[in-house]
Amino acid sequence: SQTIHQWPATLVQPVGSPLSLECTVEGTSNPNLYWYRQAAGRGLQLLFYSVGIGQISSEVPQNLSASRPQDRQFILSSKKLLLSDSGFYLCAWIRTDRNSPLHFGNGTRLTVT
Amino acid sequence: KQEVTQIPAALSVPEGENLVLNCSFTDSAIYNLQWFRQDPGKGLTSLLLIQSSQREQTSGRLNASLDKSSGRSTLYIAASQPGDSATYLCAVSRYSGGGADGLTFGKGTHLIIQP
């Protein structure tokens, strides 16, 4: 069966520090991968999308970046965090065949102080 | 641009009641619609997926309907239980496999089932 792992679960970082969040998917190959951010009262915001290794689409201009070094690994990074980067970050994957549901990881609660 | 609205934003009902959560979307050109459940501090769990050609899907006490032409979906929960307390989100996809747009999500309905 397919599973998705996302870590860390919580993170407290000072302003200006770097960030690296990691997500891996097991039990499937060549999934589409997503990074979403969820802020209180604002719903889910799509940040990055990837259809394959090294292929990243950015939906929102910001100081975050994403990389996909392996087929089932998706990394969210920042060189210098801002206070506004605080939020709940969710990784998700979906099969590319017809009508596959979207599956989420358990999320990372990031607090920038 | 697709917009998804969920009404009500919050709902509190006594245990045992049947209830309906609503979801509306502005662009009827969708590939499918999903309902998710989110517990506090957790990720989203997929509950039901309705293809654009389908009218409804059922899983246990949950039944989701889709009226694509009117841009509406409902999630019916029968015989509600305290364990059903969570935030329920609906999302629509324009393409198979999510696509570049991903899914467009509503802001959710926060449901509390009183014991």
- First CA to last CA across chain B, in angstroms? 41
Closest residue in A to B53 (Cα) is A99
- Residue B101's pLDDT is 67
Percent of chain A predicted with pLDDT > 70: 98
The yes-or-no verdict on residue B99 having pLDDT over 70 is no
- Residue B103's pLDDT is 86
Portion 36-55 of B in contact with A at CB < 8 A: 36, 41-46, 49, 51
- A64-70, strands of its sheet edge to edge: A3-7, A19-26, A73-78, A64-70
A55 shares contact with chain B (CB less than 8 Å): no
CA A27, CA A13: separation in Å to the nearest integer? 32
User: What single letter denotes the amino acid at residue B46?
Assistant: S
Calculate mean pLDDT across residues B48-56: 95
Residue among B34, B42, B102 whose CB faces A34 most closely: B102
- Residue B33's pLDDT is 95
Per the model's pLDDT, the better-predicted residue between B101 and A16 turns out to be A16
Joined together, the tokens standing for residue B43 give 């990720």
Q: Which residues of B touch A99 (CB under 8 A)?
A: 31-32, 49, 51, 96
